[in-house]
Structure 1
């Protein structure tokens, strides 16, 4: 299509004595050249008629070379060329709701889309207008689209308005919508998009209800609607942001506390569980020393249990406490300048200075306790072993018999 438009433009530039006819335009080429013939062949389907100027002899594609250097008359059906528009109004009538022609040329503006770097202001306004239409279509409660017509419906409480998207070229001249991209992000893609959307719809419906629900009025009042929306959002923030921030901060603080006390519960269980485990282990020793293999197995299990506790469970708890400390520091940095959250900042400091410190002390206590109990277990094993060895040595010594002399 781009090549077609380019060839139509080139052909039109070659024509003189231009006239507007029912089928498009009519003009003359005083001296037909080979380059003209190539262009004419490329757009032949849109040539309504071509003939020799002197004799009105019709020229066909097969014999066009016979008319080199002669003056010819051409009627071009420009209105049938896809993407070629004589005026901006012609373009607008076919692309009012969305731009159906991705590659187009507007003769009145001498502008080709995606080719010319300087975009006329009216085309810029048209593109901004399309973004407004797209945004309104996305936030509308209901839309009815048929061909090149679009009707949007918006509702607020029991009140609703319908908006027929109809406008003219004149309605675009004063359009200013520089914030449309940012507004689209706020209403559709931000975290608080639902609140922002509702506030914007309130202002939109109020404006349409007050000034008339026509799209032309909406374009004229667009900047006012945006300004009112921004004011409403600031009022909304001043009234509700404190509660929202405080609520979310309290929820996060509670999560940190839960994580910390979960680790505390684990350490507490170890304080009671480790001694009990070792007591059961020691209780199964053969204190008589008759089952040496059993004692060796038990002391080996005790050492393995100690290693698992130190290098798995205790390490995991220490890492969990470290992660909580890091999260508390990051959280404090986020809210330390918020006076309304001073209470939470104080609680975080207490959590950091007291609870975590106490938790670290408990973890250290459990480590020391497990080490002491392991040492006691090993000592008991050694005592049993040494005593057994001594008993065996005493049993192996020869006994001396003494005879009483009368």
Structure 2
């Protein structure tokens, strides 16, 4: 209570203050006295009293009291009686989730009522009425608990006072910080800040990068009855496809973070490579020889493509690749072919072409031993640069010209 209350209570302890129901019995005084009666700030003066009983004085002054009213009595320096009546009335106090009713008296302030209700205000708590404002009957006093939140954004820290139901996002907005679409907070954005907290704003941006990748083609085979078993050729060359990949990188305050794939789309489909494999059975060949000697004359006058040859061998040829070193110690290369050295000695110069001239391998040298020597009737294995060339060639009948 205020200072007047404190004085009244002191007098009450000393037995000089009376409240309704506690007055002394009527007393006739030998000499007359004067009195000043004040109720809720309105004063009446009484003269030549015949009784100094408090209740008689109030009755003489026409002042009525009710239960709970505060009646303070004192005697001034002139010996006159002073009686101060302060009316009691209810006031509601709401704080910390509870509501209570407190009895206040005329002249009390909001501060007095909170003190009477044992409510202690924190340094940043707020009240719905001015703290030193006089309260009236049925006044409602509401206390809002607040705390200080530090908001850091863009290298600047700002302190704001917030209530216990203020969310992190609201605190940031109160600090005057604008949030971008992807920005993140170090506290749950929509959860109340129940205590003093530190909330940082992380600026988030995204950057997309478009990449292209090849789609490898597959190789499929098909049967072809027009070719002999063991023969093959490429029907359709394969080609790689292409796909577009969009990768997104997350930047937090300008620093690159996680990267993820957000979309993948096919720009060009891959085309499968189709290889035909022969299914027709090979005709029976004489076992006595892997080649037939051409009936053509072996005279030195015979020429092929401007080259003089001594004889012609006609037989099956295959193709191989892969590099390495030949049986004669030379590096494998186009023009260095594998033979059966018992039939075609190493170092023999050759010219190789199909009988109808539709395929020309050209000039060659017997430089390697074929793996076919003991397992097939192949006469010559032609070295080529790529597997595709080998597959295209397959197994064909060729003329092998023995050059002079």
The question of a shared fold, defined as TM-score above 0.5 by the shorter chain, is answered with no
Larger proportion of strand = 2
With the length of structure 1 as denominator, give the TM-score of the two structures: 0.22
Whichever structure has more helix as a proportion of its residues is 1
Could you state the TM-score of these two structures normalised by the residue count of structure 2? 0.22
